[in-house]
Structure 1
């Protein structure tokens, strides 16, 4: 009997009823923590970049890729916040004098930084 390409490459089949089903497995990958940025990018890949998601998943690199995206996004987010705080003069002195104004300014900065990170890294 002629072997299929799958069998020539070392693949095996298992019989289920009258059918031969190939025994497929996904390569094991190292488990890494994926934060909120990685989760958002994962959702984006699943919804809009299905081929990329499938390629990363089947090659066993998805978790490492998402952990790297999460790290990059978090670093960019923190740098943006610090830069915007300095540019707008948001200091600890303002926090001590007027906590409500400081909170409003910081929330505005965080929202702006979140949008930038999502546009540059998460949804790119």
Structure 2
């Protein structure tokens, strides 16, 4: 019997009852930690960008891609918070004098920065 193209390229089949099923494997990749931002982007890819998700997964580049997105998003988030703190004049002195006002303003800044990072990096 003539070899199929799959067999010529080094693939092999496994018999399952009356059927020959190709033995497919995903290339291994180095495991890197993925934080909250990377997990959010992963959920977005699975739900709205299925082709991109499948391509990254089957090429073995998904973990590295998500780790990079997570790093970019975290750095952008921290830069935004620092910039907004300076623009609004939020200092450690305010924290000492009126902790509740400082907390409320910081929560507002974090929420704004989170929305910006989601819009610019996570959901694109």
Measured against the shorter chain, the TM-score band is over 0.9
TM-score, normalised by the number of residues in structure 1: 0.99
1:38 has 2:45 as partner: no
Report the counterpart of residue 122 of structure 2 in structure 1: 122
TM-score, normalised by the number of residues in structure 2: 0.99
Report how far residue 65 of structure 1 moved: 0.3
Ranges in structure 2 where 5+ consecutive residues have no aligned partner: none
Report the counterpart of residue 53 of structure 1 in structure 2: 53
More displaced stretch, 3-12 vs 58-67: 3-12
Give SS of 1:95's match: helix
1:87 has 2:87 as partner: yes
Query: What value does the CA root-mean-square deviation take over the aligned residues?
Result: 0.5
* Distance (Å, rounded) in 2 between the aligned partners of 1:28 and 1:121: 26
Kindly tell me the number of residue pairs found equivalent between the two proteins. Answer: 124
- Runs of 4+ aligned structure 1 residues displaced above 3 Å come to none
Ranges in structure 1 where 5+ consecutive residues have no aligned partner: none
